[in-house]
Amino acid sequence: VRGQIAHCRASMRGVDRYEACVFVFIIYSEIDALALNVIKDIIPVCNKEINMKLNIKRMNYEEANEISKWIYQEPYSIYSNDGSDSCIRELLDGNYFSATDEENKLLGYYCFNESAQVPVGKQFGVYDDKDLIDVGLGIRPDLCGQGFGLDFLSNGLDFARSELNAKGLRLTVAFFNKRAIKVYERIGFKKVSSFKRISEIGEMEFWVMIL
């Protein structure tokens, strides 16, 4: 049984934590104290994902300054910021919104419209449909991969629908970012086109997805 519990603990990393909670409770709750420890490990994360309540508002200078210094580990370093004044100005252009928790801690941000597009995509016509609102997002580096993505994205989409009157939604994602694509597909986004950007760091493919 202990071997099964160890396997269960390992296999839950990166999967739906709510389903994991239910599974562990049903299978192991009456076995022994070790099973209860597994449940205790998972339930806090589970609750964070289910009950995430965000305050989404137009970004202010302090938040922009903090986000401008966020650095992501490989292979996600392309999303890192350089802390420059131009980066801060972009974050304050009116299309960026901060997301804070109930304790006013900055968790991430959303961007909409042209700020959520990859500029080179325009020459391929991927943004020609003006009835769609483009959505982008960024999660604080230390929270990436912790199971917040699905709920964080859902909050942003709800905001776009309620505050921006979005009827259709579109996002652009780097093809290598399988982790993000998996989350987008779970929400219901479908790939409709792709394009490649060639720069000094090489060639990169992007997917355009709509909901």
| Helix locations, 58-116, DSSP H | 61-67, 85-91
Which spans in 15-125 are helix H? 17-28, 33-50, 61-67, 85-91
Contacts of 70 (CB under 8 A, 6+ apart): 80, 81, 138, 140, 141
Backbone angles phi, psi at 195, to 5 degrees: -155, 165
Q: Are 193 and 208 in contact (CB under 8 A)?
A: yes
Residue in the structure block whose two tokens are 């801060």: 88
Three-class SS of residue 70? coil
Nearest residue to 150 via CA among 187, 177, 120: 187
Neighbours of 89 (CB within 10 A): 11
CA distance 147 to 183: 10
Task: Look up the pTM and report it.
Answer: 0.73
Residues in CB range of 196: below 8 A, 6 or more apart: 203, 204, 205, 206
Whether the bond into 75 is cis, omega within 30 of 0: yes
pLDDT of residue 53: 82
Q: Do residues 83 and 67 make contact, with C-beta atoms less than 8 angstroms apart?
A: no
Q: Would you give per-residue pLDDT tens digits along the chain (211 residues)?
A: 444 444 444 444 444 444 444 343 334 444 455 544 544 454 444 444 444 689 999 999 999 999 999 999 988 888 899 989 999 999 999 999 999 999 999 999 999 999 999 999 999 999 999 999 999 999 999 999 888 899 999 999 999 999 999 989 999 999 999 999 999 999 999 999 999 998 877 899 999 999 9
What does residue 32 show for φ and ψ, rounded to 5 degrees?
-165, -175
